[in-house]
């Protein structure tokens, strides 16, 4: 059985004319990516030549064998993954987004209200994007005052689920 792959970044497009790409990071910073020599990208391995920080939440990378803008553009939309066992242990308060995607969300009475479809961060704190069972979605701050965990479920007060 193949190891579970964890997404660390997504390629958002080419950067310049020499084969570099822009990355949207799903890690704290570009240094988190730089410790990995290669990434899986849906059946293809990309070997890192260089990674440098860019704007907050982004980085610029160059991969071996990618030497021009046209080739770099073909990578747009790919995600960069590594096997879970290649990741460092988590410190208190840290988590992998992959561990929450698809997790059931219930209200304080135990009624299932939906599932986590994404976790976003717009600068203040992480936000759960919950796909509601009744249709639509709602965003809820992923903080201890709002969300609690019980086994493999998340509990969100119904006042946040309107």
For residues 41 and 103, state if they share a domain: no
Would 90 be classed as within a structural domain? no
Question: Do the beta carbons of residue 126 and residue 120 sit within 8 Å?
Answer: yes
Residue 70: beta bridge partners? Answer: none
Q: What is the pLDDT of residues 6-40, one digit of tens each?
A: 889 999 999 999 999 999 998 878 888 888 999 99
One domain for residues 79 and 124: no
Distance CA 9, CA 25 (A): 4
**Burial (Cβ within 10 Å: 0-12, 13-18, ≥19) of residue 8:** buried
Residues 11, 75 share a domain: yes
Report pLDDT for 2. 45
At residue 49, the pLDDT reads 94
- Domain end position, chosen among 40, 60, 85: 85
Written in H, E and C, the secondary structure of 91-152 is CCCCCCHHHCCCCEEECCCCCEEEEEEEEEECCCCEEEEEEECCCCEEEEECCCCCCEEECC
| Residue 91 within a domain | no
- In this structure, what token pair is assigned to residue 57? 């939440």
State the residue range of the domain holding 105: 97-161
Task: Please state the domain count of the chain.
Answer: 2
End-to-end CA distance of the chain: 41
Last residue of a domain, one of 85, 120, 139: 85
Residue 36: which of 12, 67, 5 has the closest Cα?
5
Do 61 and 113 lie in one domain? The reply is no
Residue 120 and residue 76 share a domain: no
CATH code where residue 130 lies = 2.30.30.240
pTM for the model: 0.74
Shared domain check, 16 and 49: yes
Predicted confidence at residue 42, as pLDDT, reads: 75
- pLDDT of residue 97 exceeding 50, the answer is yes
Q: Residue 59: which of 97, 5, 20, 96 has the closest Cα? A: 20
12 falls within a domain: yes
Q: Is residue 54 part of a domain?
A: yes
Write down which residue in 85, 118, 138 finishes a domain.
Answer: 85
Residues 21 and 75 in one domain: yes
pLDDT tens sequence across 49-84: 999 999 988 999 999 999 999 999 999 999 999 998
Q: 105-140 pLDDT, tens per residue?
A: 999 999 999 999 999 887 778 899 999 999 999 999
What is the pLDDT, as a whole number, of residue 88? 83
The CATH number that applies at residue 15 is 2.40.30.60
């Amino acid at each position: 059985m193949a190891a579970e792959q964890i997404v660390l970044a997504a390629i958002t497009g080419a950067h310049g004319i020499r084969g570099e790409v822009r990355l949207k990071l799903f890690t704290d910073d570009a240094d988190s990516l730089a410790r990995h020599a290669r990434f899986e990208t849906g059946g293809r391995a990309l070997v890192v030549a260089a990674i440098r920080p860019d704007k907050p939440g982004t980085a610029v990378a160059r991969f071996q064998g990618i030497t021009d803008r046209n080739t770099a553009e073909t990578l747009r939309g790919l995600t960069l993954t590594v096997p879970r066992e290649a990741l460092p242990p988590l410190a208190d308060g840290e988590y992998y987004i992959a561990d929450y995607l698809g997790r059931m969300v219930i209200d304080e009475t135990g009624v299932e209200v939906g599932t986590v479809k994404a976790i976003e961060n717009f600068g203040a704190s992480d936000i759960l994007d919950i796909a509601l069972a009744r249709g639509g979605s709602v965003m809820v701050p992923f903080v201890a005052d709002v969300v609690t965990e019980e086994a493999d479920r998340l509990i969100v007060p119904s006042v946040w689920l309107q």
